[in-house]
């Protein structure tokens, strides 16, 4: 059967790259199913542990990342851990999130649900000589997400570039002070 009869060529895909395997997408949020997907990365001249420490202190984000506001961890606790639920505002939308993946200091991910938005935001930190490479990816569903992608197609990507740049600046200042 050299003619390929009976083979659905659409289902033949190359094996995922190492990077693609580093983000553990729930099926619903996999980029191949999501209408909105952004990926940003930055090499940061700080150890992964310091970058991680700034990233998991969500209530401190508004002090250094201007696209976040009113971050409140439900039930207290100073850091994001697996299962942590938190509320916040980003891109002007009130969001409820839950940490779905937490593997220090390498992988962190949470879902994000709000009016017209159903998203998944993942972070991957790879140790490198002299620092680390930080990759952040987000996929979104929902009419507000689609509208935003249509009207302001680079808004989320620019916001994530800013988040990475500010994260790098925070990491360059050293580790954050432990919450009391």
Q: What is the CATH number of the domain that holds 114?
A: 3.30.530.20
Asked if residue 14 belongs to a domain, the reply is: no
First vs last Cα of the chain: how many Å apart? 70
Asked if residue 17 belongs to a domain, the reply is: no
15 pLDDT above the threshold of 70: no
Asked if residue 62 belongs to a domain, the reply is: yes
Whole-prediction pTM: 0.86
Residue range of the domain that includes 78: 26-172
Number of separate domains in the chain: 1
Residues in the chain: 180
Asked if residue 34 belongs to a domain, the reply is: yes
Q: Name the least confident of 2-16, 31-45, 72-86, 117-131.
A: 2-16
Structure-model confidence comparison of residues 149 and 179, the more confident one:
149
Asked if residue 168 belongs to a domain, the reply is: yes
So what's the pLDDT on residue 148? Answer: 83
d(CA 35, CA 141): 6
């Amino acid at each position: 059967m050299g003619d390929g009869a009976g083979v659905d060529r659409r289902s033949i895909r190359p094996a995922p790259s190492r990077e693609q395997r580093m983000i553990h997408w729930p099926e619903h949020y996999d980029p191949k199913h999501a209408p909105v997907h952004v990926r940003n990365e930055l090499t940061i001249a700080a150890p992964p542990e310091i970058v991680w420490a700034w990233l998991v202190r969500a209530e401190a984000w508004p002090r250094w990342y201007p696209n976040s506001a009113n971050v409140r961890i439900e039930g207290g606790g100073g850091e994001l851990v697996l299962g942590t639920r938190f509320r916040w505002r980003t891109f002007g939308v009130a969001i409820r999130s839950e940490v779905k993946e937490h593997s220090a200091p390498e992988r962190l991910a949470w879902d994000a649900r709000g009016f017209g938005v159903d998203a998944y935001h993942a972070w991957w930190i790879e140790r490198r000589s002299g620092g680390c490479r930080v990759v952040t990816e987000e996929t979104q569903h929902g009419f507000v997400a689609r509208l935003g992608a249509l009207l302001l197609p680079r808004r989320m990507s620019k916001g994530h570039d800013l988040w990475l740049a500010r994260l790098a600046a925070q990491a360059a200042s050293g580790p954050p002070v432990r919450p009391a």
